[in-house]
Structure 1
Amino acid sequence: MRRIGLVLGGIIVLGGATLGAVHALSPDTGQSPPILQSARSEIVASPVQVQPAVVQQVPQSQPQIQLSFAPVVRATAPAVASIYARRVVQEQQSPIFSDPLFGQLFGGMGRSQPRVQNALGSGVILSPDGIVVTNFHVVGNADDIRVVLNDRREFDADVILQDQESDLAVLRLRGASDLPAIQIADSDRVEVGDLVLAIGNPFGVGQTVSSGIVSALARSGISVGSGRGYFIQTDAAINPGNSGGALVDMQGHLVGINSAILTRSGGSNGIGFAIPANLVSQVVAQAESGQTQFQRPWMGVSGQAVDANLAEGLGLGTPQGVAITNLHPQSPLAQAGMTSGDVVLAVDGEPVNSPQEMMFRLAARGVGGSAQVTWVHAGARQQSTVALVAPPETPDRARLTVQTLALRGLVAETINPAVAAEHGLDPQETGVIVIDAPDIAGRVGLMPGDVLHGINRQPVQTTADLDRALRDPTRYWEIDLERDGQRSLLRFRL
């Protein structure tokens, strides 16, 4: 499947992992058997402290010398499946048809042809009736999905919820019942050094188990999905095909969904990333309630991690928390009294040290409840109960697919607080955001995520404004756009 190579050689989204305490397991009982018998020797009084000697004995039985993950694997492997996804995409047939006027003269003939893309990944069964979680990049926009269980049973599957930002998707297997399922752990209890297993189908060779530890927590800025994710890092071997597979602890509970690796070669270098189980749990709960899109609580703020220089300027003793740089006047944090320059330290007692970590803590709690937010204002620590509400959908996002020649194929939405939150924009951003830019729209240089503010000196605040501006019969175009926070003009002639 397609691999995305980025930072330090590449972040590869894999087209899967296990946590817990390190101990020896008995194959019969799953308990930690005594390996060594020790006896304390007599210590003669001395001004120097002497450590007691240890008398080592030969192990008396096989369980005393066996270190094995087999009991955990037997309990969890049946709940990890292989996923085969198929999608049909339109591909340019010939470079000559890239010329908009040529395509117009010949009625658009030959511009593109269908091509089949196949994707391989893994998935985790979470309920006996066939709820499976995997990665969005494995099944997103797929036309056909086939799920193969460890016991070789096969099921067709439907996507019931997908969320590109978190890189998660929830499937329902058709006609499934009495399936093996895995229990979800509290990923907030995971610690660096915990032992984990990664289970998946790397390179399509069949179900494979690898072991490692939790290498780090709260990794953010990894370029998966929207790039605004929050991950558990592990050194368990993860390779293409592991995407959507399980990261489990020594109790056989799911602590994460494997999603990506950092690599120079395309294979595992011992730096893998898994989506924490607490977010997975919230996404699955919304899918089971009938939602098709994951809804995050709206905070209506943007911020930055507090470094040493910023901490000194804000009067903080140590670099910690997230400094609020902008907030929507109607946002829950603004209603609680927060202003720009305040620092959020924790959500429900869990420290937050990056905007991604703060948003993860809130998303894992879901819409409809509340959270205790600890923050600093003018040097004084405060705590407020903040309502977790859905982002406002006003003005209406009013999605538009452009049919006129100038930007034919462009898909755009009016930016409102909900759209701004989905795309990581400033909470008070206005204009129109590009959702997709195929056909002429892409060839003139537009990209998904671009924010359009004007067309030929006419302001664009809504998709209705965009539609009106594009009906101008001119052949000369100037687009005022914002990309990655930088404002620029895009000029072209048709």
Structure 2
Amino acid sequence: MKYIALVLTLLAAPVTAQQVPQSAAEVQMSFAPVVKQAAPAVVNIYAKIVREVRATPLQSDPFFERFFRDTVGEPKPRVQNSLGSGVILSADGIVVSNYHVVGMATDIRVVLNDRREFGARVLLGDEDSDLAILKIDAPDALPFLPLRTSDTVEVGELALAIGNPFGVGQTVSSGIVSGLARSGGSGGRGRGYFIQTDAPINPGNSGGALVDMAGRLIGINTSILTRSGGSNGIGFAIPADLVAAFVAQSERGMTEFGRPWAGINGQALDADMAGTLGFDRSGGIIISGLHPRSPFLNAGLEVGDVILNVGGAAVNTPLEMIYRMSVTGLGAQAEVTYSRDGIEQSAMVALIAAPEEPPRDQLTLAKQSLLPDLTLARINPAVISELNLPLEVEGVAVLNVGPFAARTGLRAGDVIIMLNGVPLNHPSEAAAILSGEVRRVEMLVQRGAQRISIRFRG
């Protein structure tokens, strides 16, 4: 009987330890209060993009175009519709969405949760960050979401994704923050630092809100990692801190996002590299190159230093570093901690735009040139940043190829290093050589990491 009593006691223990729900609120967990607070500030966005559709690619060629004009007609405009979401950030109608939703649109309509509809205009957009700030004019104050400081977001927090997937209407899905400091993966849009979530995100959710349990905006849903086209539980959101930086610049009247320029080449210091170089730990960014006008060089950093954190936040990839600089903002200074010979040091780095020094001296070649309408520029930090060129590149940059240079194989973004054996440093030097007096031309061109030779006769 003692053994029977002991068994009954053990079986009964877990039951007696549980708390019996005392109210309906304890029985039913619901996201409804958060949704009721946040949903009115999430909008549907319908954008129209007009593109020219050509019957044949040869219609784009200036030589063959005239042969097809009479047979297939002029290129026809085609309207493409883009569907996405957005978030109202202020009572006076500031809205944030993704650049890939509205960036190239000719007509933008914003539909509120209460079915009111307004036209919208883009104030500021940036394709690299995949963000755009819009303005709608409403007669009354609009509901909006407050922004939450991104560094307070933690992995494991509950999160809600609100948007308009597949155009079915406003939809809410729940999940958790499943990762931070993500690069977006192979399926991500934009470049930089993302919050990862397993809340289901599908096409149409782009530009929608990722909110916490207090109804605050922690990110803008931008992409998913998928092989099937549907949500597999890995979605990416742009942090609210970067959204705040965009809003601040739009309020200053900027139409393009001003991103601080680092002027460095660097890569993540992984375990293998750390062991090879004699570092006692991995993490951080090892500097492999510095532009002469780099603000990091001016602050005293050198090749071989390892950048550990920017503004008090650890950085482990160049994209994380650029994100930290971007949210701090142009014109400010950021404290940078770095390691040199195993000793940690710090420096204040000025956050500047890529300087236009020396002047780019942009030049478009004359009609009588061998390559008329070819537009060239002297290389400086601003041109390097604009065209994503290597820091150490020399020559003249191609900004626009024009009709004839395109047929030689030259592309916008190329750098002409040498022309007929003459090294180039200024667009005027190329203009003189291509003045029309020469009939045979040989170019040494750098395209990305490759060097190619282009030959043609005038």
Relative to the length of structure 2, the TM-score reads 0.86
Would you say 1:293 and 2:256 are equivalent positions? yes
Q: Name the structure 2 match of 1:283.
A: 246
Between structure 1 and structure 2, the one with the greater Rg is 2
Distance 1:301 1:283 in 2: 24
Contact 1:165 1:225 in 2 (8 A): no
Distance 1:478 1:484 in 2: 19
Distance 1:331 1:321 in 2: 19
Contact 1:400 1:463 in 2 (8 A): yes
The alpha-carbon distance between structure 1 residues 458 and 103, as it changes in their structure 2 partners (threshold 3 A), is: farther
C-alpha offsets along residues 309-360 of structure 1, whole Å, 9 cap, x if unaligned?
Answer: 2212333221110001111223221122111111000112211000000111
Would you say 1:324 and 2:287 are equivalent positions? yes
Q: Name the structure 1 match of 2:170.
A: 207
| Displacement after TM superposition at 1:460 (Å) | 4.8
The alpha-carbon distance between structure 1 residues 283 and 227, as it changes in their structure 2 partners (threshold 3 A), is: closer
Contact 1:158 1:174 in 2 (8 A): no
C-alpha offsets along residues 145-197 of structure 1, whole Å, 9 cap, x if unaligned?
Answer: 11111111111111111111111111111345401111011111112111111
Would you say 1:420 and 2:379 are equivalent positions? no
Query: Which protein has greater RCO, CA pairs closer than 8 Å, 6+ apart?
Result: 1
Distance 2:453 2:188 in 1: 27
The alpha-carbon distance between structure 1 residues 461 and 141, as it changes in their structure 2 partners (threshold 3 A), is: farther
Contact 1:130 1:177 in 2 (8 A): no
Structure 1 residues 94-133: aligned runs within 5 Å: 94-97=56-59, 100-103=62-65, 110=73, 112-133=75-96
Q: Name the structure 2 match of 1:305.
A: 268
Q: Name the structure 2 match of 1:29.
A: none
Would you say 1:161 and 2:132 are equivalent positions? no
Instruction: Read off the aligned partner of 1:132 and give its amino acid letter.
Output: V
Structure 1 residues 62-461: aligned runs within 5 Å: 62-97=24-59, 100-103=62-65, 110=73, 112-175=75-138, 177-220=140-183, 222=185, 228-397=191-360, 414-433=378-397, 445=409, 449-454=413-418, 457=421, 459-461=423-425
Instruction: Read off the aligned partner of 2:391 and give its amino acid letter.
Output: P
Q: Name the structure 2 match of 1:15.
A: none
The alpha-carbon distance between structure 1 residues 202 and 449, as it changes in their structure 2 partners (threshold 3 A), is: farther
C-alpha offsets along residues 69-107 of structure 1, whole Å, 9 cap, x if unaligned?
Answer: 111111111111111111222232334535543335688
Distance 1:491 1:65 in 2: 78
Contact 1:200 1:241 in 2 (8 A): yes
Instruction: Read off the aligned partner of 2:452 and give its amino acid letter.
Output: S
C-alpha offsets along residues 372-416 of structure 1, whole Å, 9 cap, x if unaligned?
Answer: 111011221101122222221123346667896987887765542
| Displacement after TM superposition at 1:217 (Å) | 1.0
Distance 1:264 1:403 in 2: 49
> Size of the alignment, in residue pairs?
445
Distance 1:335 1:242 in 2: 43
Distance 1:383 1:481 in 2: 40
The alpha-carbon distance between structure 1 residues 217 and 158, as it changes in their structure 2 partners (threshold 3 A), is: same
| Displacement after TM superposition at 1:229 (Å) | 1.8
Distance 2:171 2:115 in 1: 15
Instruction: Read off the aligned partner of 1:230 and give its amino acid letter.
Output: Y
Contact 2:207 2:221 in 1 (8 A): yes
Contact 2:192 2:319 in 1 (8 A): yes
Going by fraction, where is helix more abundant, 1 or 2? Answer: 2
Percent of aligned pairs with the same residue? Answer: 55
3-state DSSP of counterpart to 1:265: coil
| Displacement after TM superposition at 1:52 (Å) | 8.9
Q: Which moved more, 1:134-143 or 1:358-367?
A: 134-143
Structure 1 residues 22-33: aligned runs within 5 Å: none
The alpha-carbon distance between structure 1 residues 316 and 84, as it changes in their structure 2 partners (threshold 3 A), is: same
| Displacement after TM superposition at 1:252 (Å) | 0.9
Instruction: Read off the aligned partner of 2:354 and give its amino acid letter.
Output: P
3-state DSSP of counterpart to 2:134: strand
Q: Name the structure 2 match of 1:484.
A: 448
Query: RMSD of aligned C-alpha atoms?
Result: 3.2
| Displacement after TM superposition at 1:204 (Å) | 1.2
| Displacement after TM superposition at 1:56 (Å) | 2.4
Relative to the length of structure 1, the TM-score reads 0.80
